[in-house]
Structure 1
């Protein structure tokens, strides 16, 4: 059997990474003195690497992040109030494995959305499913779904991901239906993690939700065991504008 036939058979078995690495080995004299077992191991590693890359691409595409933010580019300037040790702990994804939540608050432009998306990108790198949505849009989608009969389908879009980002929390008032939908969502995500980002301080959330019983239930499930980060300083958009 020719090397070309071997390559085509590997591709037919959906081992494209191994096929590419096999072609590379055949065409390079550098591999001639490497033992059989080691060369096979290199082929397997190439296939695994390709699958990891493809999985990451799928996760990022389905996440629909507002920005593609790299964790390596997080801005730790002292004025932001962002502790390196706290962020370093978040980047281990331990909080996701333990089903904890992260609450990001701060004035407009302080980088809440960017940081949330950076944590999401980091999670996707480790094979964790992610979904991003603005809170108002998520609540509106569920409100419409009650009328169309698709509420379970829409809820599942927000419940299934291992990490959900609810951005711009607190920007619009909540109807009675919104409140019960929000409670149902955080209740069903009890075995998953959620990042909630918004300008409103956590101390005002109970008052914002309004209904004491629903507010107590949401705060109990979403807030009390969460990791909280309050971003400070001047708007990063304004700062970048000045530097430009």
Structure 2
């Protein structure tokens, strides 16, 4: 077995995980008939999988999902929801870096748009894309605070502009001022034709044009978001209410 000195060497070479996997394989009596070369290659494969798993966990953690365990496999495809398993599997396997087409997720309140947006984003993390989830009001507030420091403000604009997949939830659920609209314009111009944005909203492009504070900028923002975009329009099924009713009907529910 390896000594602490050996592990110091492995750490210097950044192959500690390979050594750990290799040592576990050597301890298994079932591997007695396998060659050292075979065991070593197996250890390399397992170490790479551990590294990939850790990288995915980090991407999910850094994305800031409010529902970090959302899964496309767990989406409820009830009649009338306006979404199918086949379509969602396509989003799960989608290469977001190769296709900068935006996605508009339109849903009445309680329709489950946040869950679906998180599930899509988490699937993108599993494909090793960088993702950032934010609500529109949170993004506007963060940008306003950052404006007190020119470098911090520019760094935030760069992060929002360069992440592989940007998810903006509750888009224009409440209005934004002209300063926030200008920052939104900058981010979307930087991403246009280059990287995709997912918009989750209770309203659609017509309402966005009317709500954004400056007409010319509003037209430009909405045009960049909605032209060539894919759209998922959810039906009137209130998933939040259904979830509450199921919780109340459970045997362990109490008030």
When the two structures are superposed, what TM-score results if normalisation uses the length of structure 1? Answer: 0.92
Distance 1:138 1:236 in 2: 26
Please give the secondary structure, in 2, of the residue aligned with 1:172: coil
Displacement after TM superposition at 1:203 (Å): 3.1
Give the counterpart of 1:171 among 170, 173, 179. 173
Distance 1:46 1:17 in 2: 9
Number of aligned residues: 243
Does the 8 Å CA contact 2:107/2:234 hold for their aligned counterparts?
Answer: yes
Please give the secondary structure, in 1, of the residue aligned with 2:105: strand
Displaced runs of 4 or more, over 6 A: none
Distance 2:240 2:16 in 1: 43
Does the 8 Å CA contact 2:177/2:213 hold for their aligned counterparts?
Answer: no
Change (3 A) 1:125 1:98: same
When the two structures are superposed, what TM-score results if normalisation uses the length of structure 2? Answer: 0.88
- Paired position in structure 1 for 2:63: 63
Give the counterpart of 2:226 among 223, 226, 237. 223
Distance 1:111 1:60 in 2: 20
Displacement after TM superposition at 1:7 (Å): 5.0
Q: Unmatched 5+ residue regions in structure 1?
A: none
Please give the secondary structure, in 2, of the residue aligned with 1:192: coil
Does the 8 Å CA contact 1:105/1:202 hold for their aligned counterparts?
Answer: no
- Paired position in structure 2 for 1:102: 103
Q: Unmatched 5+ residue regions in structure 2?
A: 248-255
